[in-house]
Structure 1
Amino acid sequence: MSPLRGMALKLSAVFLFVIMASLIKASSDVVPAGEAVFFRSFFALPVILGWLAFRRELSTGLRTRNPMGHLWRGMFGVSAMACGFAALGLLPLPEVTVLGYAAPIMTVIFAALLLGEKIRLVRMSAVAIGLVGVVIVMLPQLGNEELGTAARWGVALVLASATLRALAHVHIRKLVQNETTSAVVFYFAATASCLSLLTAPFGWVMPDAITASQLIGAGFIGGVAQILLTSSYRHAEAAFLAPFDYASILFALVIGYTIFDEIPTIHTLIGSVVIIGAGVLIIWRERQLGVKRGPARSNLTPQG
């Protein structure tokens, strides 16, 4: 184990996921969300396959005992990604990133409802605190008529994305009991590529050269980020690495300001602190309870 190397890999992955989201956001005025999901997933496949071949894990990555489990995980994951990508076109990057962290909070709820996990006082309190943070971030959209319906749709989409990713995470918890991480990573990218094609009749466009390069770049960067994220768990415990997910909020604030000229509101900053606090409390409690947080947690990033 090398915790510092694991931390470096995790932070690099989180940064690349924010870059990926920035590229998707930059193309959101040109291509619909379903088309962006296809590029993000399809062009990650060569990176993932190359990684598996390099590690001599191709046979492991392509072997599955539960194809329907991967299909269900893919359906929830693709829907979550599409909602998240659509939200990027309607809201500032930092806001989408912060609200995306409602997913771990929703996961606790769904794990109790669908997996029978017990929620005691600490985790119940963390869920309540996290939801308060989400409401704080949402206040400007809820209380300002001048912002229009687009911002409200953006909030609805990112919360839908967080809910769907939480459902996907519940399926991942069941999948990793019998499936390898390689299989989970590969089959999600493959399933997402296929399912996103179903949105083609609903308005796909031929992107120009710049937009196409942004989308292809998002796919490759997403694939590399996925590998770095998965590799980080080989060098450090998941409980140690989990809090570094929240570095994405800092990266999103900097990139949103420098690239998209997005100035975070005081509500976003305060809500970020509250949501991070709730998330860290959930992470700490799950570690105390011995809940296994394996490498497949990398599939629960806000960026998809």
Structure 2
Amino acid sequence: MTPTTHPPSAQNAKGVAFLIAGVAVFSVQDLILKLLSGDYPLHQAMVLRSLTAIPFLLLLVHWEGGLGSLFTKGTRAMIGRGVVMFAAYTAYYLALAALPMATTVALYFSAPLFITILSVFFLSERVGPRRWAALIAGFAGVLIMVRPGGELFDWAALLPVLSGFTYAVSMIAARRLGSTETASALAFWGNAVFLAAALAMSAVLGSGAYDDGGAAHPALAFLLRGWVTPTPFDLMLMMSCGIIAAAGLTLLTQAYRIGEASVVTPLEYTGLLWSVIYGWVFWRQWPSLPDWTGIAIIIGAGLYILWREARPQT
């Protein structure tokens, strides 16, 4: 497909619809992993998710660029990006086990702030004083939610911030690789790294030798727990994460293929809406006033930065 500089409004509308659908689909995966985090280890869920996703991702690769697109000069770089993505999502999933969904998702949305900073150093992009002010405000929102040094501080709150940073690194890499590699190839190698790393984690942790019986912090328990024979329903949930990941990727990829990034990207924040809904329905968790303040600041700063980046003169 040959991209156009200014897609018609109808195309942007379709792009927005695909983006909203993709975020909604991915939010289901977050819900599933949080539901499973109290009984199963993360590496077990990752192995089953990654295995299930392989055939769907291969079909996507074949449809978008052919299987040959997996083996190019950029293959090593795609694998390297997959390692960074693995770190990003491992931190994110561990945070889900310990924190309310809305808190995890909101802190993860520090990613656009990190992307803007990294783009200055690695992509030589210009950031004006207004965007720097928005960045400072955004990180102030992060501090409000993390509460470093406070009585309610939980070190797991640093995990989604780490996830946002490593995700930002992967997106900077994607900008460099995107001109020569397909989105499906990037996703395939990311999934391959997920599978290899999860298998390595299972080899070390799968016996349960480091499992303390659930006495550890929820994030550590989710990481260190040994393999557990799943019920048929739980097995189906773990495997469904692979289908969800492939479907979500297809929807998001299509959104950015047919719509302008400046139009569709702000809709990423609809993920926060789903996290609030799921948190209330399943765990009766509702963000506190400081959390709502931090959420509003982070989202406001992110949306402002996206708006400014859409204006060439800034």
Instruction: Tell me the SS of whatever aligns to 1:10.
Output: helix
Q: Which moved more, 1:31-40 or 1:184-193?
A: 31-40
Specify the alignment match of 2:214 in structure 1.
none
Specify the alignment match of 2:183 in structure 1.
181
Specify the alignment match of 1:167 in structure 2.
169
1:88–1:154 contact (8 Å) kept in structure 2: no
Write the distance in 1 (CA, Å) between the matches of 2:313 and 2:191: 29
Structure 1 gap segments, 5+ residues each: 292-304
2:23–2:268 contact (8 Å) kept in structure 1: yes
Write the distance in 2 (CA, Å) between the matches of 1:100 and 1:132: 14
Deviation at 1:198, TM superposition (A): 1.7
Deviation at 1:86, TM superposition (A): 0.7
Write the distance in 2 (CA, Å) between the matches of 1:17 and 1:63: 28
2:85 corresponds to which of 77, 81, 88: 77
1:40-51 maps to which residues of 2 (within 5 A)? 40-51=49-60
1:30–1:207 contact (8 Å) kept in structure 2: no
1:38 lines up with 2:47 in the alignment: yes
Write the distance in 1 (CA, Å) between the matches of 2:313 and 2:251: 25
1:143 lines up with 2:166 in the alignment: no
2:283 corresponds to which of 260, 283, 287: 260
Q: Provide closer, same or farther for how the CA distance between residues 155 and 256 of structure 1 changes in structure 2, counting only shifts above 3 A.
A: same
2:23–2:271 contact (8 Å) kept in structure 1: yes
Structure 2 gap segments, 5+ residues each: 1-6, 207-226
Specify the alignment match of 2:221 in structure 1.
none
Sequence identity, in percent? 26
Specify the alignment match of 2:230 in structure 1.
208
Q: Provide closer, same or farther for how the CA distance between residues 52 and 69 of structure 1 changes in structure 2, counting only shifts above 3 A.
A: closer
Instruction: Tell me the SS of whatever aligns to 1:143.
Output: coil
The alignment's TM-score, normalised by the length of structure 1, stands at 0.86
Deviation at 1:221, TM superposition (A): 0.9
Deviation at 1:83, TM superposition (A): 0.9
Deviation at 1:60, TM superposition (A): 5.2
Give RMSD over aligned pairs. Answer: 2.1
Deviation at 1:183, TM superposition (A): 1.7
List, as ranges, runs of 4+ consecutive aligned residues in structure 1 with deviation greater than 6 Å: none
Between structures 1 and 2, the one with greater helix share: 1
Specify the alignment match of 1:67 in structure 2.
75
The alignment's TM-score, normalised by the length of structure 2, stands at 0.84
Specify the alignment match of 2:296 in structure 1.
273
Q: Provide closer, same or farther for how the CA distance between residues 259 and 279 of structure 1 changes in structure 2, counting only shifts above 3 A.
A: same
Bigger Rg, which one:
2
Specify the alignment match of 1:118 in structure 2.
126
1:131 lines up with 2:131 in the alignment: no
Specify the alignment match of 1:302 in structure 2.
none
Write the distance in 1 (CA, Å) between the matches of 2:64 and 2:150: 55
Specify the alignment match of 2:216 in structure 1.
none
1:190 lines up with 2:195 in the alignment: no
Task: Report how many aligned residue pairs link the two structures.
Answer: 284
Q: Provide closer, same or farther for how the CA distance between residues 133 and 39 of structure 1 changes in structure 2, counting only shifts above 3 A.
A: farther
